[in-house]
Structure 1
Amino acid sequence: MFSLQTIFGSGKQFFTLFDEAAQAAYDSTRALHAMMKATDRQPALDAFKLARQRERVASDKISQALVDSFMTPFEREDIEALGSALYKIPKQVEKFADRYSLATRHLEGIDFAPRAAMLEQAAGVVVEMVAELRKMNIDRMTALNDRLRAIENEADRLMLELYRDIYSGRLDNLQMFLLKEFFEILEKAIDRCREAGVVAYQIVLKNS
């Protein structure tokens, strides 16, 4: 028999689930940055698959909580949008790691660490923004949104530098193709972080 608290509760469980999802996304980016900094850069894919699994579990719980909960802390459409945005971050990171594991021997001398560091920073800001949803502090959320935008802008600048390497003449055709593909995956992962941040920011704008 369901209690009245279960049926008419405040929906606080969503905050915990979003925290779990954001942390799983961040952990995947941290694992990627660590792999790119390592001397041998040998892919160990377990960390990425575990983060993706944690994210999937949190996403499933969010979907189920929407079914079970009569009340939610903010609009259901926003809950779905944020859950979907967070889910896509480790998915994109795992995509990079899986493909990188197949192409490592062709990527000697190519340093992905600076871009991976920016991705980790972006995901860290998303963790902070998700945590701030409990407080609905517009000033704090605006500052975090500005920081996330600055990271995205810097990542875009680094992407421009990528094309200097592509057209430098020092890479063969396969390396040129792989370099472009892998940096675009990283760029998309940062975009996913930005999307999650925008959703969180808009939630606060609507509810503060």
Structure 2
Amino acid sequence: MFSLQTMFGQGNQFYALLEEAAVAAHDSTRALHEMLKGSERQPALDAFRLARQRERDASAQISQELVDSFITPIEREDIEALGSALYKIPKQVEKFADRYSLAIQHLEHIDFAPRAAMLEQASSVVVEMVRLLPRMKLEPMKALSDKLRALENEADRLMLELYRDIYSGKLDPLQMFLLKEFFEILEKAIDRCREAGVVAYEIVLKNS
């Protein structure tokens, strides 16, 4: 028997597309961490651009599905908000990688790897949160939200240490400028992860 469910679908493709976007974002942060912890730290920008393109493709598919679908598993505004938040993560990572490739000769003695590791951890938590969305279970989602908040707080603490280094008088003006700019890009990327996590958590709060 031909049913409305067959005709309209259940809208579960949105969960798959959001997960695809989250994984692409995570892959970009992992590529950044691998680059920065390497001994040569030579930027290979193809990995970042590939992840960014995957994110763009997933975002475009989400937008098209919102136009084409009669039924969505969660509110359309929430799908758009989460898709937008996920889209911004690899955007920040690519911004860092592009600028790093231009300024690497001035950054040889600056270790970005610990902050990049924290960003990779944060994006990994975001992937877990997006994968949990179909279950709409509040308790595990809250635990992940708390974990993401703790990572954000630790990143803020490290930023304070950074400012102590900047104003120590040991750096020349160019190094001070570059250090501040690059660490703030990483901080903003972690903030983007936190924003995506907040949207995911609020979706579960409304639907659990």
TM-score bin (small chain): over 0.9
State the partner residue of 2:207. 207
* Alignment TM-score, normalising by the size of structure 1: 0.97
1:1-208 aligned within 5 A: 5=5, 7-208=7-208
Checking the alignment, whether the CA contact within 8 Å between 1:7 and 1:68 is kept in structure 2 is: no
- Distance in 2 (CA, whole Å) between partners of 1:150 and 1:118 is 11
Report how many residues are paired: 206
Q: Deviations over 1:61-88 (max 9, x none)?
A: 0000001110101000000000000000
* Residues 164, 6 of structure 1: alpha-carbon distance in 2 compared, 3 angstrom cutoff: farther
- Distance in 1 (CA, whole Å) between partners of 2:146 and 2:108 is 35
Checking the alignment, whether the CA contact within 8 Å between 1:6 and 1:69 is kept in structure 2 is: no
Shift of 1:110: 0.5
Q: Describe the SS at the equivalent of 2:134.
A: coil
- Distance in 2 (CA, whole Å) between partners of 1:104 and 1:119 is 20
- Distance in 1 (CA, whole Å) between partners of 2:108 and 2:169 is 16
RMSD across aligned positions (CA)? 1.0
- Residue type matched to 2:28 in 1? S
Shift of 1:168: 1.8
- Residue type matched to 2:86 in 1? L
Checking the alignment, whether the CA contact within 8 Å between 1:59 and 1:83 is kept in structure 2 is: yes
* Residues 6, 188 of structure 1: alpha-carbon distance in 2 compared, 3 angstrom cutoff: farther
Q: Percent identity, aligned pairs only?
A: 80
- Distance in 2 (CA, whole Å) between partners of 1:58 and 1:7 is 23
Shift of 1:7: 4.4
Checking the alignment, whether the CA contact within 8 Å between 1:7 and 1:70 is kept in structure 2 is: no
Unaligned segments of structure 2, at least 5 residues = none
Consecutive aligned runs of 4 or more in structure 1 exceeding 6 Å deviation? none
Shift of 1:4: 5.0
* Alignment TM-score, normalising by the size of structure 2: 0.97
Shift of 1:170: 1.8
- Distance in 2 (CA, whole Å) between partners of 1:201 and 1:191 is 15
- Distance in 2 (CA, whole Å) between partners of 1:94 and 1:68 is 31
